[in-house]
Each structure stands twice: as C-alpha cells, then as structure tokens.
C-alpha cells in the first residue's frame, strides 16, 4: 500500500461521462489529512494520519498532547496505515484529495449502517413459514434449532435474531471518477459502506490490474481477417 486517506461520506449522486452515460457515484470528503506520527515496527513502516478539526476540550489531555507534539491542530480522528512510501512523508505534512487521481482503484473501509435488533428474515434472509393451514403466530420465527435430546444445545453459527449492522466492511476495487483538490472531494463509482457523515478509510486496492496489450494488425492478421469475411 502506497497511498491512504481518512475521509467522510457525504452522500450519493450521479454524474455524466463524455458519452452522456450516467455514473452513480459516492462523494467523499477526503482531507485535509495531517501526518501525526511516523514509525517502523518489525521493519514495516507506518504513518499515523489525523482528520477533522475539533475543539480542544472535547479530547482527552493525553491525545491533545500527542497532537501538539506533532505540531498539528486538534483533530478528532486518528488512523495508522502501513505505507511503503512512509519515508517520503514528514510529520506535520498535509495530504489532500489530490493524493489520488482519476482512474485509480481503491479499497474503501467503513462501518456499515446499524439496523438495531432484527429478526432472522431481515438479518439472514430466512424464509417465512406458510401463512395458511394452521401456521400459527410464528410465521417470522427462526424455526427449528436442531434435535433436543442430542446434543441438547444450539451449535455455534446457527442463524438467529440479534443485532444487525455496525460491522467493519470493506468494498474493494472501486474506481475514482472525479477529484476536486480545492474542496477535497473524491467521487467514486458505486456505493460504499456506512451512513452519511460516516468515517471511511481510502487505500490502494489490493487487487491486481493487468494492462491488456492491443495486438497490431500485421499482414498475417489481415489475411486471417479477409479469410473470415469470405
């Protein structure tokens, strides 16, 4: 991983490309990020970034002292990233949205929306029991949990009602469609996890993109093409 930023989800909209095609995008406020700390653990370089200014009295004193030591303003969110190019960054440096460029592919990590306590149908997409022929008032219940005599318990991993959402979720391989360095806004194709104003982390994608090589049409290829036409 070479580049990373902390951002905030603004919302979704749509833009049009050069051919007039509609592209659904999510707008992210990515910056400014401040380099708070640099360190190397077990030979792996990492950098700590800070995002979103906040008044001093809303943070614990140790964290305020940590930020002032770096010469930074008081920031609400801190996140450490393992960056291969951490040596090129300096403490106190400001990173903006132009860290990424149009056409880059990134992975976005965020906290999914919370749905509270939900049943098995919404949480696990379970099937409802028949509504007729004496189905009883248990149409949306979980159903059988297994045999009662042996093992006389519920196995781990069995689906059931419970808290749904608020999970750390990563969407990989998202294309950056637009970058506005003045407003620190990045528009990515498609949806990302979390509600509006939710904090997200932007990183280089771990996927491998292979460049397709276009074969030049030579005399042999021209003969094959003419033979196919005949």
Burial of residue 21 (number of CB atoms within 10 Å: 0-12, 13-18, 19+): exposed
Q: What is the mean pLDDT of residues 15-42?
A: 90
> Is pLDDT at 106 greater than 90 in this prediction?
yes
- Predicted local confidence at residue 185, as pLDDT: 94
Residue 25 sits at φ, ψ, to 5 deg, of -135, 155
pLDDT average, residue stretch 57-67? 91
4-114+167-217 CATH, one of 3.30.70.100, 2.40.30.10, 3.30.450.20, 3.10.20.30: 2.40.30.10
Q: How many whole angstroms separate alpha carbon 24 and alpha carbon 12?
A: 7
What integer is the mean pLDDT of 161-175?
94
What are the extents of the domains in the chain? 4-114+167-217, 115-164
Residues 9, 195: Cα–Cα separation, whole Å: 7
Residue 42's pLDDT is 80
Least confident of 103-112, 150-159, 202-211: 202-211
Res. 146: pLDDT tops 90: no
What is the pLDDT, as a whole number, of residue 216?
Answer: 52
Decide if pLDDT at 186 tops 70. yes
Q: Is the pLDDT of residue 190 over 60?
A: yes
Residue 17: pLDDT band with limits 50, 70, 90: confident
The tokens describing 155, both together, are 């196995």
Give DSSP secondary structure letters for 138-167: -TTS----S-TTTT-SPPTT---SEEE---
Torsion sign (Cα): 74, 78, 80, 81? negative
What is the pLDDT, as a whole number, of residue 79?
Answer: 92
pLDDT attached to residue 149 = 86
């Amino acid at each position: 991983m070479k580049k990373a930023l902390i951002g905030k989800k603004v919302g979704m909209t749509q833009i049009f490309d050069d051919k007039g095609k509609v592209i659904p995008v999510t707008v992210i406020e990515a910056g400014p990020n401040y380099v708070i700390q640099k360190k190397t653990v077990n030979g792996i370089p990492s950098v700590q970034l800070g995002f979103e200014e906040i008044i001093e009295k809303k943070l614990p004193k140790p964290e305020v002292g940590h930020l002032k030591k770096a010469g930074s303003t008081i920031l609400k969110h801190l996140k450490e990233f393992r960056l291969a190019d951490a040596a090129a960054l300096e403490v106190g440096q400001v990173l903006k949205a132009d860290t990424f460029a149009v056409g880059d592919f990134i992975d976005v990590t965020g906290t999914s929306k919370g749905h509270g306590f939900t049943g098995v149908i919404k949480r696990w997409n379970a099937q409802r029991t028949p509504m007729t022929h004496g189905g009883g008032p248990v149409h949306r219940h979980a159903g059988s949990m297994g045999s009662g005599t042996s093992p006389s318990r519920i196995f781990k991993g069995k689906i059931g009602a419970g808290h749904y959402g608020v999970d750390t979720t990563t969407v990989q391989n998202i294309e950056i469609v637009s970058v506005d360095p003045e407003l620190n806004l990045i528009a990515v194709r498609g949806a990302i996890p979390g509600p509006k104003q939710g904090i997200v982390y932007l990183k280089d994608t771990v996927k491998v993109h292979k460049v397709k090589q276009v074969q030049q049409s030579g005399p042999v290829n021209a003969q094959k093409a003419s033979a196919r036409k005949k």
